[in-house]
Structures are given as structure tokens and as C-alpha cells.
Amino acid sequence: MNPAAKLSDTLLNASIKANASDIHFYPFQTHTDIYFRVHGKRVMFQKIRMEQYQLLLTYYKFISRMDIGESRKPQNGTLEHEAASKLFSLRISTLPLNNMESMAIRILPQDTTLTLEQLFLFPRQLDRIKQWISNRAGIILFTGPTGSGKTTALYALLESILKEKSYQTITLEDPIEKKMDNILQVQVNEKAGISYQTGLKAALRHDPDIIMVGEIRDKNTAKFAFEASLTGHLVLSTLHAKNAAGTIHRLVDMGIKRSDMKQSLIAVAALELLPLQIYKACRRAAILELLEDEFLKGVIEGKEKNLDMFHSFEYLRKKAFAYGFISEEVYNSQQVKQ
């Protein structure tokens, strides 16, 4: 095994053992700092010499099919890694800096061990989401910042639904984060001419019951996703937003009419992950701001002040703390972030 491959294995195995979701490489003139993202916190792992980092960077570019000679443009690649008899998908991205490149690796477990019930802290919230899925047309959005568990929740929800009923389900993803049975998964590839928009058009010809759009990133994808939901399809997708109400503002910024939201937006689930005290922070579970029915209508109409009974993240964190699910330290740290 060459030095770069050996260093890669050591690094990846250490990150997986630490339950890291990401690896960050920060290059300097003489060395590179390596950080792990563990349960949302950025933790320093080690420093390596610049020579080692350059070898590692070239190695990752090669095995993930990036252009080794290109250092002036951002690049993305994917590869698989096996550790402790478990399979992981790695999403690798590079970012040009001043005379060097930074690199980040997102670690995506392919063998999910947590059940849908274990992903959410409060069972009643899961029950509500399952009721949303009974709609045969419309759009349901899972929102939150990067690493909040949006896509993981969507995958788990789809798996649960398809065990109970047979739906023609098509996903459009960039990249495909987890391979699933009984689902048609389309890899979005802009270079090959497969954008979210063209993929959605093609997917509609395959008579889908459910369409999952990995992420609504721009105005065109948002517009087409809403159009698909208005033509008799159930659309599930994710969007970056700070909270449930913020999702509506993001959609308005993307050019979605409030009248279209009233007609086709079923609900919004904004996620926030909390380290659980009973598991000594080795596991996290999600609390959700559920925006539906009259609350959803009120926010779409700009009446956010009428949300007195709405269960916000602040309310849910207090509840989690009162029930002993999270520690006082976690509760206080999350309050400071708001």
C-alpha cells in the first residue's frame, strides 16, 4: 500500500470510529490541520506535513475521478470506503485558495442502524409526518442547516413507507447518498446534461407516485418541484433554512408565489439534532418544528405573530431538557446559538 493510501485508511477509520460526519483539511505553508466534525462540533484531529497533504490530495482526486491537474476550480467526487464490515460513501470536494487547495470529505453511512423511530426524539412528531405522506399530491419539505439530518430523515421515511405500500418512487440526487432497493435513483450530473430540472421532466414520464428531489438549490428547481406537485404528484425535498418559518421566506426569495404555496405546500419539517444525555452523546435525535395547517397558512400570509401555540425549537429544547433527554450543558449551548 502506497503512503497516501495508508494515510487515507488511517484517517478515514479514525473519523468513522469517532462518529464524524465530515473531515476538514486546512492547508498552511508548511503543514495542514485536519479537523473532524463530530455531532456538530469541529474537533482538531492532527497536523500533517504539507508534503503528506499534497500526496493525499492527489490520491483522493485520482480515485474519485477528479481532474488531477486542475487546481484553479472547485471540484467534486465520490468514492466508497469499507470499515468494520460497514460501507460508507464519501463525498469529496476541493476549494481553490491562494496557491493551494482546501479539501473536505462528507462521510455518509450506507448501513443505517437506527430505525425511523430512533431518529426522532418525540414519537408524536413522527406520527404527524406519516400522516402527511398519505397525501397523494403536494410538496413536503424537510429543512435545516447542513448536517441537521434532512436527507437521513427522508431516506428513513421512504424506507418505512415502502415497507407498508408499493409506490413508484423516483429520486433525483447529487450525489446519491445511499443506495436503496425498490426505488429508481437518478444521479444528477450537470456535465452529462442531467440537471435537477431535466431529471424531473424525465421522472414525470415514468408515472411516479412519489418524487424525492435531493435538494432544492435554485429558483428553477424550486419552480419545477412545485409544478410537479400541482400535477398530481407527491414531492419530497430538502431546503436549507434556519427554521420552519424561514423556509417560507427562502421560497419567496426563490420566486415561488404565496398562492402556489397555499395550493400545494402540505407541510414543512425543520430539523435540529440534539446529543442525547442517556446515550452519553454517542447518539443524536431530531426535534422538529412542524409547520402545517393553520400555522402554515399564517406564515404564508405573513402572520407569523399568530403562532402562540406553535412548538418552536426553543419550546422543544425545554421539553427535551425537562424530560431528561438532554443535559443542561447541551440545552444552554443550543440556546446560545439562536
Domains of the chain from N-terminus onward: 3-109 (3.30.450.90), 116-337 (3.40.50.300)
Phi, psi of 205 (to 5 degrees): -80, -10
What pLDDT score does 230 carry? Answer: 86
Going by C-alpha positions, the residue among 15, 21, 8 that lies closest to residue 45 is 15
Going by C-alpha positions, the residue among 239, 233, 198, 192 that lies closest to residue 217 is 239
* Cβ contacts of 303 within 8 Å, gap of 6 or more: none
Query: Residue 234: is it exposed, middle or buried by C-beta count within 10 angstroms (0-12/13-18/19+)?
Result: buried
Distance CA 107, CA 225 (A): 27
What pLDDT score does 92 carry? Answer: 95
What pLDDT score does 337 carry? Answer: 63
List per-residue pLDDT tens for the chain, 338 residues long: 799 999 999 999 999 999 899 999 999 999 999 999 988 889 999 999 999 999 999 999 999 999 999 999 999 999 999 988 889 999 999 999 988 999 999 998 887 666 778 889 999 999 999 899 889 899 999 999 888 889 888 988 888 888 888 899 999 988 888 888 889 999 888 778 888 888 888 898 999 999 999 889 899 889 988 988 988 899 999 999 999 999 999 999 999 999 999 999 999 999 999 988 765 546 889 999 999 998 999 999 987 766 667 899 999 999 999 999 998 888 888 765 65
Return the number of other C-beta atoms located less than 10 Å from residue 63's C-beta.
16
* Peptide bond between residue 145 and the one before it cis (omega within 30 degrees of 0): no
The pairing of strands 20-27 and 101-109 is antiparallel
How open is the CA angle 111-117-122, to the nearest 5 degrees?
Answer: 140
Is the pTM higher than 0.85?
A: no
Measured CA distances, 132 to 124, 126, 139, 249 (Å): 13, 10, 10, 22
